[in-house]
Chains A and B, each alone.
Chain A
């Protein structure tokens, strides 16, 4: 068991096991709509993104991105 855990830990650092925590800012009109229609079409993608809906990517303040990284995001996705 502990061996397995250790392996997992190791894998996390390698490319294959990397399981990033990503924050997405999606524009209501395009990217958010596209993400919805990906769902309607039942496309499958990795479950790593958490989404904050904004009315336009123009709403995204640099502070938001910096704050996301400060709060432990491995990546920030902006879609608009």
Chain B
């Protein structure tokens, strides 16, 4: 997020709304109305004086109205834009021309009441709608006692209560008496899966966040007794089922499958009554009830739809189709995030990248026509060469560090260290205003080395390096001391020891900083084309998108034709004909001049690095070499084939996909089908596959409805564990129940069995409501067998890409980088990443295409400067380094007839094995030289031994 505030090509218009949209794809004019902030963003230093002096209290909506702030304020310390603003509705000066106190207290003279609303007419080629989601109407919450009983809170409020920087600093208290509650109940599906409030869909995310909030609460208060009331536990996301299981066991959460109809107050306690699916009624008292509120369509959905001239679906979310999940009904206007349908963060981030690809496809010809390129001032080599003048900035990180570590003591200690000429503390070093002030102080004090004592260099070093570059210093001249992640957070019970440790870490960082040297910033050119591995729906979509964005790509498919699993599907989950989606993809791939298809081909080896890969493929027995800059993995997955359930032994037992193929060929076989029995989670969720396969519930119900449509008299029974028809798929589930499809829940220790009965077969199960064993004679038994990973192991080895424990490719970061692989230059989409539906695969493929095109569009990639460097004068050419390098990044060359080692900079990962094994110490590592590390070791001793020793 901080990055968005720093990009020169992103203009943030806050307090703004779209008023009109005219024109056509490629040439829209958007009229945007912007309300004034009354505080000049460039002048505001976020000191907070205005908030302190303002006489006018307003409720703090960021903290869910649990706290009070003042008319001039900032939503939270790391907010972007990072300046304060004045809440015009509350301000006395704006409304009554009185007061003006804040303007007088503001030393930066940032407060400007003469600001007027602005009207912008923006020329844009495309529009992306990402307005998010709305809040469920309070009348729905009131049904559960919200507003009437103070101890009934929403999940949003509870989120702020569990937050360390929230109104209670993370202490969980009952609003009625500010005491720690003992028993908490979470009620799920508030405003979701509830037709009485118009929200028939499932909000998808509440099951997960409820478990998260319950876990966090238990961490704060281990003695809490927490019950969660689910209708179904819907943790179908990648790795979510395992996470839920772990949380349930670790924190002893009680999971109850029941819908609680209402909340009553009895003697200051909250009474709940519920009925479980065995027909039994229960009741209990709780201290606090958390309502897991669903995601509604945005409040302004209707007006957005009118302005943009797009259609909404029957729930007022944006209307899209399974084949084109990110396209609205109007060309050139795209949709991402919760407005497309309720979804979690990884899905939103994926869609966001996906729409970026869509816009980039449309506007490929005008790429780089409106952008501003950043130029950095020239490096001031003279200052860099001077004696080290070190500045140390110690970060509070709000209460994250300062709550444990005595920041001021650490700061003053830093001042006593040799070479340090400036030592300061900052509230949030990473906030934009702090970065600005750090930059100014570096300049004022002619600093040439900087130490930031804050969080982890893994996450924040690039940000501070950027700050250095912006003022003409080499980015290598910074060192971070990690006093948050590896100190304050892990020693929160021992503030004194944590402060001592922080001082030691700062001393070590300063010792290293004294020796830091500027490093060169090499870049390498990018081969401007892509390789896509896998020719299913995801692979084809990615290839088309890359090609439409203007880059050539080779599509490698191991089978004899394109299509993958999509060619076995009859209908998409929203009822479209799957073959029309398939045919249109295939046609585009075949006709596109930028796409070259290689069928019956497999990748044998890949060498190189992002920007310049060389891949050998085996194509029908022949070896071919492809040079490419990036690669997309879309290798798919396969339907799991179970053992047991008479599968493979009796032709009346089949998988869902086999049923679908059969239905595709004709419906005649349904004529005499009296009973069809479906069994869910065959294979999935612990039977053979650990994971939930995500789409089997929706697929099974879709197929069941299809059977009902053609043969209404057929009885259909579905044995399930949790029905996970998330999002709008919930409509299918409701329709199925209305049409008389019978749903029978089973527990994993009592799985249904398929048995032979004479010439036929039957399914034996347990009816939980009746409390008795049942046996259903079956004309057909359909097994939802789930999705098993493809043969990813070999490819993963070739790429050196990690797999999950389930055998799918692992993304670089579950939320922030969901379509990137940890190895630079590789991107991931479709079933190779994990089970998902067609629309999700397509959105993800678009996202992978966007990410893959980024290096191609830039034309250059920067190489990290932490590479090894050989001093060829000292090198004796022994070759130990060459034999040890895991990346083949160092080799021996002849220099004046002598063997000398040489680093291949672009392949070097900076591991330093060469340096640590060089017998003549001829190799040094950028940013990690022997001298620097030894200086850290000596500083560790705290003066007990000298650098020269």
Please say whether the chains A and B touch (CB closer than 8 A).
Answer: yes
A23 to B505, CA, bound (A): 11
Whether B930 and A35, one on each chain, are in contact in the complex, defined by CB atoms closer than 8 angstroms, is: no
Whether A68 and B940, one on each chain, are in contact in the complex, defined by CB atoms closer than 8 angstroms, is: yes
Give A62's nearest chain B residue, CB to CB: B916
A39-70 Cβ-contact flags toward B at 8 Å (1 or 0): 11011110100111111101111111001101
- Give the distance to chain B from A10, nearest Cβ to Cβ, in Å: 21
* B458 close to chain A: CB less than 8 A: yes
Query: What residues of chain B lie closer than 8 Å to A35, measured between beta carbons?
Result: 485-486
**Which residues in B have some Cβ–Cβ distance to A below 8 Å?**
219, 456-459, 482, 484-487, 489-494, 497-498, 500-501, 504-505, 508, 866, 884, 886, 909-913, 915-916, 925, 928, 930, 933-934, 936-938, 940-941, 944-945, 949
Given A39-B484, A47-B494, A52-B910 contact (CB < 8 Å) = no
A33 to B498, CA, bound (A): 20
A17 to B482, CA, bound (A): 27
A44 to B494, CA, bound (A): 10
Query: What residues of chain A lie closer than 8 Å to B457, measured between beta carbons?
Result: 53
- Give the distance to chain A from B506, nearest Cβ to Cβ, in Å: 11
Whether B912 and A33, one on each chain, are in contact in the complex, defined by CB atoms closer than 8 angstroms, is: no
Query: What residues of chain A lie closer than 8 Å to B911, measured between beta carbons?
Result: 55-56, 58-59
Give B864's nearest chain A residue, CB to CB: A55
Give A35's nearest chain B residue, CB to CB: B486
- Give the distance to chain A from B679, nearest Cβ to Cβ, in Å: 38
A8-44 Cβ-contact flags toward B at 8 Å (1 or 0): 0000000000000001000010001101101110111
Whether A64 and B928, one on each chain, are in contact in the complex, defined by CB atoms closer than 8 angstroms, is: no
Whether A51 and B913, one on each chain, are in contact in the complex, defined by CB atoms closer than 8 angstroms, is: no
Whether B493 and A67, one on each chain, are in contact in the complex, defined by CB atoms closer than 8 angstroms, is: no
A73 to B892, CA, bound (A): 38
- Give the distance to chain A from B659, nearest Cβ to Cβ, in Å: 44
* A1 close to chain B: CB less than 8 A: no
A35 to B505, CA, bound (A): 15
**Which residues in A have some Cβ–Cβ distance to B below 8 Å?**
23, 28, 32-33, 35-36, 38-40, 42-45, 47, 50-56, 58-64, 67-68, 70-73
* Secondary structure of the A contact surface, majority rule: mixed
Query: What residues of chain A lie closer than 8 Å to B459, measured between beta carbons?
Result: 36
Query: What residues of chain A lie closer than 8 Å to B484, measured between beta carbons?
Result: 39
Whether A59 and B934, one on each chain, are in contact in the complex, defined by CB atoms closer than 8 angstroms, is: no
22 contacts between A and B (CB under 8 A): A32-B458, A36-B456, A36-B458, A36-B482, A36-B486, A39-B456, A42-B489, A45-B491, A52-B933, A52-B940, A56-B913, A58-B913, A59-B913, A59-B915, A60-B916, A61-B915, A61-B930, A63-B930, A64-B937, A67-B938, A71-B941, A71-B945
Most buried by B among A23, A53, A70, A72: A53
Whether B508 and A50, one on each chain, are in contact in the complex, defined by CB atoms closer than 8 angstroms, is: yes
- Give the distance to chain B from A37, nearest Cβ to Cβ, in Å: 8
B458, B485, B491, B505: the one within 8 Å of A50 (CB): B505
A52 to B934, CA, bound (A): 10
Whether A55 and B490, one on each chain, are in contact in the complex, defined by CB atoms closer than 8 angstroms, is: no
A61 to B915, CA, bound (A): 8
Beyond contacts A58-B884, A59-B925, A61-B930: 12 other A-B pairs, Cβ-Cβ < 8 A, are A32-B458, A35-B486, A38-B490, A42-B492, A50-B501, A50-B508, A52-B933, A55-B866, A58-B886, A58-B916, A61-B916, A63-B930
Whether B944 and A59, one on each chain, are in contact in the complex, defined by CB atoms closer than 8 angstroms, is: no
Query: What residues of chain B lie closer than 8 Å to A67, measured between beta carbons?
Result: 934, 937-938
Whether A50 and B492, one on each chain, are in contact in the complex, defined by CB atoms closer than 8 angstroms, is: no
Query: What residues of chain B lie closer than 8 Å to A44, measured between beta carbons?
Result: 490-493
Whether A47 and B910, one on each chain, are in contact in the complex, defined by CB atoms closer than 8 angstroms, is: no
Query: What residues of chain B lie closer than 8 Å to A43, measured between beta carbons?
Result: 490
Most buried by A among B497, B915, B940, B941: B940
Give A27's nearest chain B residue, CB to CB: B911
Whether A50 and B940, one on each chain, are in contact in the complex, defined by CB atoms closer than 8 angstroms, is: yes
A42, A51, A55, A68: the one within 8 Å of B486 (CB): A51
- Give the distance to chain A from B5, nearest Cβ to Cβ, in Å: 23
A54, A58, A73: the one within 8 Å of B940 (CB): A73
Whether A47 and B933, one on each chain, are in contact in the complex, defined by CB atoms closer than 8 angstroms, is: no
A28, A40, A63, A70: the one within 8 Å of B489 (CB): A40
Query: What residues of chain B lie closer than 8 Å to A64, measured between beta carbons?
Result: 933-934, 937
A60 to B917, CA, bound (A): 9
Give A70's nearest chain B residue, CB to CB: B945
Whether A23 and B937, one on each chain, are in contact in the complex, defined by CB atoms closer than 8 angstroms, is: yes
A42 to B912, CA, bound (A): 31
Most buried by A among B493, B915, B941: B941
Give B400's nearest chain A residue, CB to CB: A39
Most buried by B among A38, A42, A50: A50
Given A61-B916, A71-B937, A71-B944, A51-B928 contact (CB < 8 Å) = no
